[in-house]
């Protein structure tokens, strides 16, 4: 997945859905725009329709348009009104933390901020996710103190489950193993873990 393929998908979508909506890209497609991560042929996004008409009817129109765009481009699409439902780990107010990408007709496409984009990757934490995280965060260089506070807050706000324990393990492993690679001498691994735990409300 590259910028040209992403643009082609949304150009096709805008021809079939000439109405207002806001798209927030995440997953590998968002990562491709943030840091040129591994190639995939799928696209994940949140969508907010902007219509005064029947929302149910407009949603059906949007679904049909996405299916047609997917057939035309060969790109599979996974989308939801609220991508927070995709994970047991809370995405917080992710829709307020985006980067404008491009407008296609009346469709506004944004990219999820790297720190919030990372929440989904850290929740799953497979080898491809780790590679994506390192590549994107190394390129975008978000403030690590801000990142660990937000990741801790995401854990604190999440409903209690085994996913919370795993997320904590994933974040702490990532900070210890890859923090120095991403942020180099500016990074303090011990302090980062302490700040993450404090933000998550973890008492050790």
Residue range 181-188: mean pLDDT, rounded: 96
Lowest mean pLDDT among 40-44, 68-72, 98-102, 190-194: 40-44
Question: What does the pLDDT read at residue 39?
Answer: 65
- Kindly state whether residue 168 falls inside one of the protein's structural domains: yes
Residues 96, 84, 74, 62, CA torsion sign: negative
Residue 48: domain span: 3-115
Residue 34 lies in a domain: yes
User: Do 171 and 108 share a structural domain?
Assistant: no
Using pLDDT thresholds of 50, 70 and 90, give the confidence band for residue 36.
Answer: confident
In this predicted structure, what is the pLDDT of residue 13? 98
* Residue 86 sits in the same domain as residue 19: yes
* Tens digit of each residue's pLDDT (9 = 90 or more) over 100-122: 999 999 999 999 999 999 999 99
64 with 19, same domain: the answer is: yes
What is the pLDDT confidence band of residue 203, given thresholds at 50, 70 and 90? confident
Task: Name the domain count of the chain.
Answer: 2
pLDDT for 122-155, tens place per residue?
999 999 999 999 999 999 999 999 999 999 999 9
CA angle 95, 93, 122 (to 5 degrees): 95
Using 50, 70 and 90 to split pLDDT, how confident is the model at 25?
Answer: very high
Clarify whether residues 100 and 172 are in a common domain: no
Residue 56 has pLDDT above 90, yes or no: no
Q: Among residues of the chain, what percentage have pLDDT more than 90?
A: 89
Are the C-beta atoms of 109 and 8 separated by less than 8 Å?
no
């Amino acid at each position: 997945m590259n910028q040209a393929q992403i643009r082609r998908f949304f150009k096709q979508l805008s021809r079939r859905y000439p109405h207002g909506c806001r798209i927030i890209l995440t997953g590998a497609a968002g990562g491709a725009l943030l840091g040129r991560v591994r190639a995939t042929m799928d696209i994940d996004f949140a969508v907010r329709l902007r219509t005064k008409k029947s929302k149910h009817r407009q949603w059906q129109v949007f679904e049909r348009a996405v299916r047609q765009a997917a057939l035309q481009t060969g790109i599979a699409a996974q989308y939801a009104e609220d991508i927070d439902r995709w994970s047991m780990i809370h995405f917080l107010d992710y829709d307020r933390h985006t980067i404008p990408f491009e407008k296609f007709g009346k469709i506004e496409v944004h990219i999820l901020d790297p720190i919030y984009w990372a929440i989904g990757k850290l929740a799953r934490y497979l080898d491809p996710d780790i590679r994506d995280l390192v590549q994107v965060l190394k390129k975008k260089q978000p403030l690590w103190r801000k990142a660990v506070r937000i990741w801790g807050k995401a854990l604190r706000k999440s409903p209690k489950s085994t996913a919370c324990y795993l997320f904590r393990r994933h974040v702490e492993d990532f900070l210890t193993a890859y923090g120095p690679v991403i942020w180099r001498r500016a990074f303090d691994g011990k302090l980062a873990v302490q700040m993450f735990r404090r933000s998550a409300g973890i008492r050790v």
